[in-house]
């Protein structure tokens, strides 16, 4: 299997896993978790594609299954969350860009924190325009998001390791076999 096909397979697998968590938890896509995993195991372009695919899948679940309203503000929030998804991925890759850490766990942790903060900052910019700054900055809500995404990251990493152990080709990139 080519590296491009393996990456496409992983984008699809992780997007489906993200959809399952979004549907089960009726929450936004775990983009920070996905961005961290991608930053460690995938090329930047593929990681950004994964974040956007997960966002798109989450929007599909929201609008088609969970019946999000179709008013302009909700639609704009959808766009805002898409930019936050891309920002999360970019933040995760930027945090790892110059690091020479060997530990996959340390890299995942650093990429996760960077992805979470970057996504939160982009979301805050949209909240300043659309309203919702108080909830975006609310410590309890932010902590809940951080912990939930962190738990999902652990689950996604276990899912990744299991599938690689079962013979699914790694997606390629800097540390695909780590």
DSSP codes of every residue in the chain: --HHHHHHHHHHHHHHHHHHHHHHHTS---HHHHHHHHHHHS-HHHHHHHHHHHHHHHHHIIIIIS----SHHHHHHHHHHHHHHHHHHHHHHHHHTT-----HHHHHHHHHHHHHHHHHHHHHHHHHHHS-HHHHH-HHHHHHHHHHHHHHHHHHHHHHHHHHHTTPPP--STTTT-
pLDDT of amino acid 176: 39
Asked if the model's pLDDT at residue 178 lies above 60, the reply is no
Give dist(CA 135, CA 77) in Å, integer: 14
77 touches 54 (CB < 8 A): no
Retrieve residue 133's tokens: 């700054």
Domain boundaries, the chain: 3-165
* CATH class, 3-165 region: mainly alpha
Q: What percent of the chain has pLDDT over 90?
A: 69
CA-based radius of gyration for the chain: 16
**Which sign does the torsion angle of CA 158, 113, 35, 93 carry?**
negative
Give dist(CA 94, CA 155) in Å, integer: 23
Better-scored residue on pLDDT, 108 or 17: 108
Question: What are the pLDDT digits (tens) for 116-168?
Answer: 999 999 999 999 999 999 999 999 999 999 999 999 999 999 999 999 999 99
Please tell me the pTM assigned to this model.
Answer: 0.90
Q: What percent of the chain has pLDDT over 70?
A: 94
pLDDT of amino acid 121: 97
């Amino acid at each position: 299997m080519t590296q491009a096909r393996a990456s496409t397979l992983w984008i699809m697998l992780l997007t489906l896993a993200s959809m399952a968590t979004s549907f089960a938890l009726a929450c936004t896509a775990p983009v920070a978790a996905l961005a961290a995993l991608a930053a460690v195991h995938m090329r930047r372009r593929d990681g950004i594609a994964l974040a956007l695919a997960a966002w798109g899948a989450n929007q599909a679940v929201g609008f088609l299954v969970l019946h999000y309203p179709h008013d302009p503000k909700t639609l704009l929030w959808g766009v805002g969350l898409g930019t936050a998804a891309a920002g999360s991925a970019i933040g995760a890759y930027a945090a790892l860009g110059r690091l020479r850490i060997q530990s996959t766990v340390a890299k995942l942790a650093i990429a996760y924190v960077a992805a979470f903060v970057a996504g939160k900052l982009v979301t805050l910019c949209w909240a300043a325009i659309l309203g919702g700054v108080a909830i975006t900055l609310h410590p309890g809500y932010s902590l809940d998001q951080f912990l939930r995404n962190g738990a999902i990251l652990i689950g996604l990493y276990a899912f990744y390791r299991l599938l690689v152990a079962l013979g699914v080709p790694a997606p390629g990139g800097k540390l695909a076999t780590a």
